[in-house]
A = this chain, B = another copy of it.
Amino acid sequence: MPVSERRRSFFGWGYEDDVVSADELGWFERAWSQLFHVDRFDPAPFPRESEITLRKPRVSVPASLKAFCTEDKYDRLFHCYGRSVHDLARMIHRRDFANPPDVVAYPRDEADIRAVLDWCGANDVAAIPFGGGSSVVGGVNPPSDDRYRGTLTIDLQRLNRVLEVDTTSQAARIQAGTLGPDLERQLKSTGLTMRFFLQAWEFSSLGGWIATRAAGHYATVYTQIDDHVESLRVVTPAGEVATRRLPTSGAGPNPDRLFLGSEGALGIITEAWVRLHRRPTFRSATTVRFGNYEKAVAAVRTISQAGLYPANARLIERDEAKFTEAGDGRHDILVLTFESADHDLDPWMNRALEICGDYGGEWDRDALAAEDSQRRGAAGNWRDKFLRGPYLREHAIARGVMRDTTESCITWERYMDFQARVKDATLRAIREVTGRAGTCTVRFTHLYPDGPAPYFTWHALGDKAKLVEQFWVIKAAASQAMLDAGGTITHHHALGRDHRTWYDQERPPLFADALKAVKQRLDPHHVLNPGILIDR
C-alpha cells in the first residue's frame, strides 16, 4: 500500500536494499574497537519478518475505511517503532514487537483523515500520526495505555505532492507527507529549494518537521522550520484549521505557532505554504583550526553577533573532529560556509576569518579557493560521517554500541558551565552503568546571537541484554543535567514520549494547563498521539 516501490527496512534506517558496505562497516568497527579497547563485538543478528509473530489486531476498521487501511504484517511491523537507540535495542536484542499498531491507514486526502479520526474517536482507538518514521524520541510508538481498545497509525506518505510553487515570493504549497528528497525533486525545475537538510532528511517529512519544530541546513537566521512556515492546514478531530498565507502578521497570537511543535497531539498537519530559497550559486567554505576551545567558542559567538549570517558554522570539539577524521585531535574545528544565490561572498568570509584570527584560529587557504570544498578534506570527511551516521546505528546497536545524540540550546554566558555539567553527568553515568569509559563530545549545529545549539554525541559499550535499561540511565543523567544547567530539553529532536519527564520540568505549569484546555477543545476524545505533550 505504500507509494514507494522500495520497501523500508522494518527495523533499520534505510530501504531494505540499502546495504552498508564491508569497507564502511570495517572502518566503524575499528573505530569502536579503539574506543572501547575490545577486539570483537559478536553482533546480534538482525530480526527477520518471518521469525516474528504479531498480536492479532484488537480492532478492525469498517468497510468504508478499508480502501486505505491495512492490517498487513509488514505495515504493522514497520510502524512499531521509531529509530531511537532503545527502539533498535528492543527490536534487535529482544525481538520485542509486542505492541504493534492494529491498523495502518494510508490516507489519500483530508477526507480520509477525517474519516479515520472520527472512527478512532467513536471507538476509543488511539491515532498515531506518522511522517517518515525517523523519530528518535518515541514520537511514533504506539502507546501502552489500556484505556484505548487499539492503535491506528496514520501514515501520511501518500500526501506527497508539491501542489503549487510561487516563484515570485519564493514559496510553495506542499503536502505534509512529502519526504525530503521527493520534495527537492519536485522543486528542482523551479530553481528554488527548501534546503532543509537535517540529518534525517531522507526519511522525514515536511509535516514531521513542522510538528516537531525541526531545524535544518542553515546555521543562522532561517534555522528552524518555524521561520519557514507561511500557513498551515491541520485536520483535528474537531474540524479543520486553515491559516492565512502571510509573510508575518501582528494579529493576535500566531495560530501557526500553536501547531508548530504540537507533535501530532492537537491535529494532523496536511499541508503548508513554506518559504524557499534560490539554489546557491556562490559559495565560500573552509575549515578553521583552534588550539583553545574557549577561544573557539568566543570566535563563533562573535561571528553569530556580527550580522554575517553564515550558512554553516559548525564548531566541532577536537575529540569529535578526530573521531570523524575532520581533525587531528589537537585542534577544535570550525566548518564555516557562506552561500548565496546573489553575490560573491569574499567580504563576508574575510570578515568571519578575521574574527577567527583574533581568537587564534588558522584556516585552510586552499579550501577557500577550491570548488566544492565543503565536500572535501576535513569538512568533507565530517560531512560523510554525518550523513552515514543513521545507517550505522543498527550495526552499532547489534554490537552493543550505543551511540546517541542529544541537543539543547542555551545562552552564551552559561555555555561553558553547561557543557561541562552535561559531559560530566553523561560520562559518569556511562561509566557507572556499563562499567567502562565512554565518550561524550559536542558540536554546535545552529547559532543564535544569544547562544548556540550544542549537540552532544555519546558512545557507550553496553550489555546487549540490558541495553534498553542502560540507555535510559545515561539518557536520564544527560537530560537532567541539561535541564539543571539551564538549557532546553531539545533544540530540534522534539519531545516525543522520551522527553516528557524533562519537558514537564521545563514548561510553565500554567502553560501546560493552557495546552490541556486546547487539547480538550480540538481533540475531545483524546484520540491523537496519547502521551505526547498532554496527559489524558
Scoring A residues 507 to 525 as 1 if CB is less than 8 Å from chain B, else 0, what string do you get?
A: 1101101111110111000
Whether A262 touches B255, Cβ cut-off 8 Å, given contacts A236-B510, A506-B244, A508-B241, is no
Shortest Cβ distance from residue A86 to the other chain B in the assembled complex, whole angstroms: 20
In the assembled complex, the Cα of A492 lies from the Cα of B513 at a distance in Å of 29
The answer to the question of A141 belonging to the interface, with a C-beta cut-off of 8 Å to chain B, is no
Shortest Cβ distance from residue A179 to the other chain B in the assembled complex, whole angstroms: 20
Contact A259 B250 (CB under 8 A): no
Contact A450 B247 (CB under 8 A): yes
Interface residues of A in 220-264 (CB under 8 A from B): 221, 223-224, 226, 230, 236, 238-255, 257-263
In the assembled complex, the Cα of A452 lies from the Cα of B241 at a distance in Å of 25
The answer to the question of A449 belonging to the interface, with a C-beta cut-off of 8 Å to chain B, is yes
Contact B411 A508 (CB under 8 A): no
In the assembled complex, the Cα of A453 lies from the Cα of B247 at a distance in Å of 9
The answer to the question of A40 belonging to the interface, with a C-beta cut-off of 8 Å to chain B, is no
Contact of A342 among B255, B307, B486 (CB under 8 A): B307
- Return chain B residues, CB-CB under 8 Å to A248: 223-224, 409, 448, 453, 491
- Return chain B residues, CB-CB under 8 Å to A214: 250
The answer to the question of A451 belonging to the interface, with a C-beta cut-off of 8 Å to chain B, is yes
The answer to the question of A166 belonging to the interface, with a C-beta cut-off of 8 Å to chain B, is yes
Contact A410 B224 (CB under 8 A): no
Whether A254 touches B249, Cβ cut-off 8 Å, given contacts A170-B450, A449-B170, A518-B518, is no
Shortest Cβ distance from residue A269 to the other chain B in the assembled complex, whole angstroms: 13
- Return chain B residues, CB-CB under 8 Å to A305: 170, 278, 342
Whether A503 touches B451, Cβ cut-off 8 Å, given contacts A240-B510, A514-B522, A517-B521, is no
In the assembled complex, the Cα of A40 lies from the Cα of B245 at a distance in Å of 46
Which of A111-119, A372-380, A457-465, A493-501 is found at the contact surface with chain B? A493-501
Interface residues of A in 467-498 (CB under 8 A from B): 486-495
Interchain Cβ contacts under 8 Å between A and B, 5 examples: A243-B508, A248-B409, A510-B522, A516-B521, A517-B520
List the 7 closest pairs (A to B, CB-CB), nearest first. A247-B448, A249-B488, A247-B451, A347-B347, A306-B342, A168-B413, A517-B517
